[in-house]
Every structure is written in structure tokens, then in C-alpha cells.
Amino acid sequence: MRRAIVAMGILAMVAGCQFTDPGASPTGGVAGLPEVLPVARCDDVAPISAPADWYRPEPIYVGNEQPTDELRAWAAEQPGFVEIWIDREHGGWVTLAFTEGAEDRQTELEAAFPDVGVVAVEVDWTMDELMALQERIGRELAHLAVGSGIYVMQGVVGVSLGVLRADRVAAVAEGFAGEPVCVEGIDPAKAPAAGPQQPAGVGWRLLADEPNIGEPYRTGIATDDASYAELWRTIGLPGDPPPVDFQSEVAVWFGAVFGSSCPNLRLDDVVVDAGRALLHAEIVDLDAGMACTADARPRAYVVAVERLLLPAGPFAIQLRADDPPSGVPEERTLVRADLTPPGAVAGLDDIGFDPTLMEPEPFAAEPGGFVETGFPFPYRFSVHCGIEWLGNLNGVEWRTDVPAGAPDFVPDEWLSEINAATGALTVEILLSEGPDPTLEATLNGHTVTYRPALEDPPGCR
């Protein structure tokens, strides 16, 4: 029985690298940080890999067919064995990490497993050392670190700092100089600025701001005194609603969402996107970068919005500029009336959910994903530049032959299924592992066979 080995994280390092080299981590001039950090940013640390000439063009593993159990058993008998992982950047080859003798192990591996994609690398750490380092970080940086994680593929402990403030980074550098530590978090320039909730903005004013009241992922609107009273009651807000001049204003509800451990939201603006006929909130999370619980708690914002600010004619209301996340179509409220005239009232039939969101698009795998071999899956990809390149799936780029001189080629049987709005196709794929791995894509009875590409796609114009 084969056992799947999952790559443990996204950080990376080269064995023996000094993580506090002040020249190793440029920040690109992030406001609030020095030009060069005294500790490497985790995104900047390079992956552990063997010398390039130890890898061969084949085999390419497209699933979890690697003989990992056999390789682990062999490695466990060798001196200095540390860990095993799958390297999707090198055709799904297996990496075996040792604290000594990597070159000798590589020679032995090539003799014992001549047809297997496997390399040995030498590292200067053990799992016990990384776990001890993580425990130390937890004790010594408990006052400023959001969390930490051991990423075995890279042999590094990543320290999550929430926002990468210069003082926090300096504390890591001071306490863990020369150790395999890197930092991650939000650039200060991208973090929300501190400050209190403002009572008003351009074209709007705040009527209510109540945590733990109402429902999350919801919006609503009132256009006269009666519907306003009903909206206030539906949300569950206490007391009497503040006055609204419905000749010149409407009342809008934004049912925001937060995790109970990160309650610090702030409504910064109410935005009108006339081109999309959309009214949405700009709500910032002041706990951005923190480790927040995933429970969805509501926060009710009610605002009076000037009618002159509204899109003319039918429009939608959402919490943000992006469409509602899957599973909560109720977030979008459709208003099928022009509310810009003074005192215009929307009837019950004019306000409701968006029916196009009530039946979510069926699941389909997409480029960058991972699917099981031997089972059919729906797969969605862009054919803006034809079907020659299917995209990266299971860590592999897939390519098929197309007629010469036709880089935008799409089979006739597939043309009618292209989504006119997105330029995407959804096909059924079947991924087969083995010495000659293939991916068959089928639509309308027509099958195209893809094979792993050894080069990167050229890009799509």
C-alpha cells in the first residue's frame, strides 16, 4: 500500500542559510519597514532541492503513485534520516532529507531504485530541533507572534506576525539571530490604518453599528418609514430607529461578518460602482493578519444613503465589490426600481435575492488544483488562447498538439460550450498515472489527450 506524502507548507530555505543575513530580504520600500529586513521574509526563502543534474526528465508523477512507503523504509535504515516529501516543482519526485552523506545516499538510491524519481538532500537540522525552536518561539514571542509553523519541505520555522511592523521584525531578529527562522505577515502599507469609526462619509451617514446582531452575509434596503421600521425589526436592533429623510435618503443594511476572536471591523465607506450598477460597503478588518476563528458572527451596519448617490434604475447591494462567496447568495440584494427620484418607494416585488446566485455553479477543478487519478472530474479552464495548454494540474503543466499555425485552436465540438462572458470551458478530465501519464479531456463526445510538458507555457496574449 502506498502512502501519500503531503508537502508541509509553502515556505522554503537552502540548508545552511543564515536567516538573519541583512542582505537577504529586501522589502521593496514598504512603508514602516527598513529597506532590507534583518530576518528573511518567508516568501523570499529558496526551496531545498538536490543539484539540478540529479533530476531526470522522467518519470513525471501526476498523482501519489510514488513508492513512498518503500522509500521511507529504505531511508529509515540509513544514518541521519530526517524526513520525506514530494516535490511538485520537480515532477512529483520524492525527496529524502539526511543530516549526512547525501551524495552517498544518492548513489545508493540510483542503484536500489533505478526507475524511481527520488533524490537525497543534506540538511543541517532535525525535526526535534525544529520542534524545539518552535516551542521557544511560542514562549519568547507570545506577546507579539500570531503563530508559527514548521514547514518540513523547507526546514524552517515561520513566525506569523500579523502586520510586519519594524519593531516586531526586530524582536525576532534579536531573539533568533542565526537560526532557521523567517517572518510572514501583512505589509504595513497594506494594513488598515488605525482609527475610530467615522459617523459619516461622502453621501452617507451611520445609523447603527452593532456587533452580534442580525445575520452575517446579508444586505437590505428601506425606502420609506414603514419598510425602515420593518428592516430595523428584522435585523433585531434595539430601540427606535434614528430618523431618515426618505425624500432625499434611503436606509441600507450591511450584515457584515467577523470571527469571534477578531471583532474589530470598521465601515470606512459606502461605494457606488455605476458601471456595475452596484452599491457596496468598504469594511476593513482591523485585526488583519491575526489568527482569527472561523465562526461567522454578524455585525449590523445601517446607513442612510443619499438618493443622488444611488445607481439609476435597477441595482444590487453587496458587502464588498467582489461577488458573494459560495454558499451565501443572500448577501446580494437586487433592487428592481429607480430610487433616485425624491421619495421613490420600492414595493415588495422590487426587492429580493438574485436568482442567478440561488443555484451556484457546479463544482469544477481549475488550474492550480489537484485531483485523484483514475476518476473523472469536471475541469474549468480558459480558452482565450485556445486549448493547447490546459493549465497546471497536480503540479504539472499539460499540453496537447494543435494544428500548425492555429495557436487559438478550439475543436469544433467544443466551440458552442464556451462561456461568452468568461471565455472558459468546462470539460470532463480523466488523469492516468504511469510511465506515460496522460490527461484526457472530453466534451460533447470529443476527447483531447494531453501530456506533461517539460517547458513552461509561453503565456497568453
- Residues whose CB is less than 8 angstroms from the CB of residue 31 and which lie 6 or more positions away in sequence, other chains included: 187, 188, 189
- Residues whose CB is less than 8 angstroms from the CB of residue 57 and which lie 6 or more positions away in sequence, other chains included: 454
Do residue 344 and residue 402 come from a single domain?
no
318-355 per-position pLDDT tens digit: 999 999 988 899 999 999 999 999 999 999 899 999 88
For 263, other C-beta atoms within 10 Å of its C-beta total 15
Task: Establish if 398 belongs to a structural domain.
Answer: yes
- Confidence (pLDDT) at 83: 97
Do residue 329 and residue 385 come from a single domain?
no
Task: Establish if 416 belongs to a structural domain.
Answer: yes
Do residue 406 and residue 301 come from a single domain?
no
Do residue 228 and residue 291 come from a single domain?
yes
CA distance 318 to 253: 10
Do residue 229 and residue 340 come from a single domain?
yes
Domain interval for residue 397 = 377-452
Do residue 219 and residue 326 come from a single domain?
yes
CA distance 424 to 416: 11
Do residue 383 and residue 350 come from a single domain?
no
Number of domains in the chain: 3
275-292 per-position pLDDT tens digit: 999 999 999 998 877 777
Task: Establish if 226 belongs to a structural domain.
Answer: yes
Share of the chain above pLDDT 90, in %: 75
- Confidence (pLDDT) at 36: 63
Do residue 386 and residue 348 come from a single domain?
no
Is the Cβ–Cβ distance between 255 and 231 less than 8 Å?
A: no
Where a domain ends, among 122, 145, 176? 122
Do residue 400 and residue 353 come from a single domain?
no
Task: Establish if 118 belongs to a structural domain.
Answer: yes
Closest of 189, 192, 158, 163 to residue 290, by C-alpha: 163
- Confidence (pLDDT) at 18: 30
* Helix/strand/coil (H/E/C) assignment for every residue in the chain: CCCCCCCCCCCCCCCCCCCCCCCCCECCCCCCCCCECCCCEHHHCCCCCCCHHHCCCCCCCCCCCCCHHHHHHHHHCCCCEEEEEEEHHHCCEEEEEECCCHHHHHHHHHHHCCCCCEEEEECCCCHHHHHHHHHHHHHHCCCCCCEEEEECCCCEEEEEEEECCHHHHHHHHHHCCCCCEEEEEECHHHCCCCCCCCCEECCEEEEEEEECCCCCCEEEEECCHHHHHHHHHHHCCCCCCCCCCCCCEEEEEEEEEECCCCCCEEEEEEEEEHHHCEEEEEEEECCCCCCCCCCCEEEEEEEEEEHHHCCCCCEEEECCCCCCCCCCHHHCEEECCCCCCCCCCCCHHHEEECHHHHCCCCCCECCCCCCCCCCCEEEEEECCCCCCEEEEECCEEEECCCCCCCCCCCCHHHHCCCCCCCCEEEEEEEEECCCCCEEEEEECCEEEEEEECCCCCCCCC
Cα-Cα-Cα-Cα dihedral sign, residues 172, 173, 179, 185: positive
Task: Establish if 86 belongs to a structural domain.
Answer: yes
Where a domain ends, among 327, 358, 389? 358
Q: Give the distance from CA 85 to its chain's centroid.
A: 23
CA distance 316 to 334: 5
Is the Cβ–Cβ distance between 265 and 259 less than 8 Å?
A: no
Task: Establish if 329 belongs to a structural domain.
Answer: yes
Task: Establish if 133 belongs to a structural domain.
Answer: no
pLDDT lower than 70: segments of the chain: 1-36, 360, 461
Do residue 354 and residue 409 come from a single domain?
no
Do residue 91 and residue 221 come from a single domain?
no
- Confidence (pLDDT) at 31: 47
Cα-Cα-Cα-Cα dihedral sign, residues 110, 113, 115, 121: negative
- Confidence (pLDDT) at 309: 93
Task: Establish if 392 belongs to a structural domain.
Answer: yes
Where a domain ends, among 122, 155, 174? 122
Do residue 283 and residue 430 come from a single domain?
no
For 363, other C-beta atoms within 10 Å of its C-beta total 10
